[in-house]
Amino acid sequence: MSKVSLFLKSLFCILFLCSINAKANLMSDCNATASDINKSTPQTLDKVTTLLNAICTNDGGPVTLVYRNRLNVPAGSVTQNEINTLKPGMLNTLCTDPTLRQLINTVNVRYTYADASGRFLGQVDLNKRECR
């Protein structure tokens, strides 16, 4: 193997390991944020919405902070399409508030919704590319 090939192979390994280490640090930071959020959960957000907790995931992809919410509504009364209508307001808040902009610049954000019985209703996924 030539010195150039060996150098490139070593560089690739270093970059790959650095990427894994950076993702591990990002996951650790996300978990710390989720832990802080969870100190005040469950938390009533409005008449029908309760923030149950926050968790972090990466599922082999980008690190995502997930806000798990329960809606105090009858089963089947809310659809994914209705949940989608929340996205513009969420994006506006995440993209314009300086503290939250730092968050979405670092991790993706997901809001999940379940009905009063715990049945999954839908989710909204947000990332920094959607900020205008």
Domains of the chain: 3-130 (3.30.300.250)
Residue 118 pLDDT greater than 50, yes or no: yes
Once rounded to an integer, what is the mean pLDDT over residues 9-30? Answer: 56
Taking alpha carbons only, the member of 5, 15, 14, 26 closest to residue 108 is 26
Bridge partners (DSSP) listed for residue 54:
67
Banded model confidence at residue 4, pLDDT cuts 50, 70, 90: very low
Banded model confidence at residue 75, pLDDT cuts 50, 70, 90: confident
Q: What is the pTM of this model?
A: 0.80
Once rounded to an integer, what is the mean pLDDT over residues 94-104? Answer: 92
Residue 92 pLDDT greater than 90, yes or no: yes
d(CA 48, CA 70): 8
Task: Report the alpha-carbon angle 127-130-132, nearest 5.
Answer: 135
Q: State the pLDDT at residue 12.
A: 39
Kind of pairing between the strands at 43-44 and 49-57 = antiparallel
Q: State the pLDDT at residue 97.
A: 94
d(CA 119, CA 47): 19
* 28-62: pLDDT as tens digits: 999 999 999 999 999 999 999 999 999 999 977 89
Report CA-CA distances (Å) from 26 to 39, 95, 109: 20, 20, 13
Token pair 């209705």 in the structure block, residue:
82
